[in-house]
Amino acid sequence: MADATTTRAATMEKIVALCKRRGFVYPGSDIYGGLANTWDYGPLGAELKNNLKQLWWRTFVQRRRDMVGLDGGILMHPRVWEASGHVVNFNDPLVDCKTCKSRFRADHLIEERLGQDAAGKTPDEMSAILSQANLPCPKCGNRTLTDARQFNMMFRTTIGPVEETGVQVYLRPETAQAMFVQFKNVLATSRVKLPFGIAQIGKAFRNEITPGNFIFRDIEFEQMEIEYFVHPDDGADAFERWLADMRAWFGRIGVREEHVRVREHAKEELSHYSSRTVDFEYLFPGPMGWKELYGLANRTDFDLKQHQEHSGEDLTYFDQPTGARFLPHVIEPTFGVDRTFLVVLLDAYDEEETVDVNGKPDTRVVLRLHPRLAPYKAAVLPLAKKPELTEVAKTLFDTLEAETGALIDYDETANIGKRYRRQDEIGTPFCVTVDFDTLQDRAVTIRDRDTTNQERVPLAEVAGWLRERIV
């Protein structure tokens, strides 16, 4: 296993280039010159992202008896965001440069340029620190930064045909709220008993002041979130159990332990709803270093209490065995889909020094994705584009698709070496080659992506062989 810091092949630049070259992620609105910090997932990216979301859903919803799913809307009643505290609290401290008009997060400037801790500081306190340091604009160098002011990160839009008289609503900045707002309906319709969780996967939107680092900080992104409802006395224990369950997830997606650490939030840093938060941080290569990947928060009864007060609906839970009625507390494990996608690629990316067919030094790029996540589980490759081979290969392709239910690639172009390299680079775990011997021995060669070892397997057994290795 590679060492965390010394022998890592992946850089952000290489991953961005690979994503574009192979159709994982494209810049959004590319033919119009792009729209800054928006991205579209291409054919292979869409497959990888779907595989990730399906695995998460199977792991945390379908395989657990204490979880149910929800698929809430992006638009919600505007009072939801008043109750949740987002209208007042979901702000980032912003400074502008009067000369070049660039915008920066005041807390990031203080932390990154001055090396001081900005957690919990008010905009006035941050302004005082910045003006005392007389910090130049990081973009143009002029000492013309404004004071810090709060900037609400929710995107607004209007429902109704006439903008002036329409209802102003927000694009949700987190998926979490639907799970609180629908708590009562879920209780009434799904026979759940405490402790239980509601999970959902969906888009969230934030008008980030400083998006960037590829898909790490987007203005439109996806979250996989869980609101886990417990008796008020059980919050601390449930928090520990979720900490362990979140750790175990990294093994399922092939992210190395040494690239992940847990960081406890200081009191001043806690969100307005949280009594305890830890971040799972990932060691990104290069200057990014350790950055938040996932979060785990104890939201107490903050949200249910707020929604009860603002909606006037009783959101208490009736505990049949004890006859007690109370507002449950909530533990919230939250996972960003796009960040997961990025770290899975970073951890899977590898380069091997080798020699090409002419004996010249060459580099083999290989994406060592877990077979569960790989876009294609196998590729069927006739050795040459000859009808006697392609006929057998196409029949095998149809059989594998039908009998494994997995996505299989078929490629008869270019020389076999080039085709192997392409499959290595997109993470296909197995290449199945139909050659001239196949016509006699009714067997094929299966090449393993990671070892490049080859195995001869009878045609009739390929589907079963593959099924065993891709779950």
* Binding stretches for ligand GAP (CB under 6 A): 174, 176, 206, 208, 217-218, 221, 223, 225, 292-295, 332, 334, 336, 338-339
Cis peptide bond N-terminal to 138, omega within 30: no
- Residue closer to ligand GAP, measured from CB, 203 or 456: 203
Residue number, 212 or 458, with CB nearest to ligand GAP = 212
Long-range Cβ contact pairs of 256-262 (< 8 A, separation 24 or more)? 256/1, 256/2, 256/4, 256/347, 258/3, 258/4, 258/283, 259/4, 259/283, 259/343, 259/347, 260/293, 261/290
Tokens 């009072």 sit on residue? 79
Q: How far is the CB of 225 from ligand GAP (least distance, A)?
A: 6
Q: Is residue 332 a known part of a binding site? A: yes
Q: Is 220 labelled a binding residue?
A: yes
**Letter for the amino acid at 177?**
Q
Q: Facing residues of 145 across strands?
A: 97
208 is in an annotated binding site: yes
223 is in an annotated binding site: yes
Annotated ligand binding at 155? The verdict is no
Residue with tokens 């005041």: 106
Shortest distance, CB of residue 221 to ligand GAP, whole angstroms? 4
Nearer to ligand GAP, 131 or 274 (CB): 274
Cβ-proximal residue to ligand GAP, closest one: 336
Q: How far is the CB of 205 from ligand GAP (least distance, A)?
A: 9
- Give me the least distance between CB of 56 and ligand GAP, in Å please: 12
Q: Is 277 annotated as ligand-binding?
A: no
Angle at 395 between CA 391 and CA 398, to 5 degrees: 140
CA torsion sign for 159, 165, 167, 169 is positive
Check the annotation: does 293 bind a ligand. yes
Number of neighbours of residue 454 by Cβ within 10 angstroms? 12
Instruction: Specify the residue, 294 or 317, whose C-beta has the smaller distance to ligand GAP.
Output: 294
When the beta carbons of 259 and 339 are compared against ligand GAP, the nearer one is 339
Is 211 known to sit in a ligand binding site?
no
Shortest distance, CB of residue 335 to ligand GAP, whole angstroms? 6
3-state secondary structure of 288: helix
Give SS3 for 129.
helix
Q: Return the number of the residue (293 or 348) whose C-beta is nearest ligand GAP.
A: 293
Residue 207: CB minimum distance to ligand GAP, A: 10
Q: Is residue 125 annotated as involved in ligand binding?
A: no
The minimum distance between CB 277 and ligand GAP, in angstroms, equals 8
CA 204 to mean position of chain CA atoms: 12
Partnered with residue 94 across adjacent β-strands are 105, 149
Considering the complex, what minimum distance in angstroms separates the CB of residue 80 from ligand GAP?
A: 13
Helix (H) or strand (E) holding 96: strand 91-96
Inter-axis angle of helices 337-348 and 43-57, nearest 10: 110
Distance of alpha carbon 398 from alpha carbon 406, whole angstroms:
11
Are the beta carbons of 196 and 229 closer than 8 angstroms?
Answer: yes
Record the tokens describing residue 24, joined without a space. 């994982």
**What pairing do the DSSP bridges indicate for beta strands 430-434 and 408-410?**
unpaired
207 is in an annotated binding site: yes
- Cβ closest to ligand GAP, residue 105 vs residue 256: 105
- Closer to ligand GAP at the Cβ: 250 or 294? 294
Pairing of strands 361-367, 329-336: unpaired
Residues annotated in a binding site for substrate? 105, 174, 221-225, 332-336
Residues annotated in a binding site for ATP? 206-208, 216-221, 292-293, 336-339
Residues annotated in a binding site? 105, 174, 206-208, 216-225, 292-293, 332-339
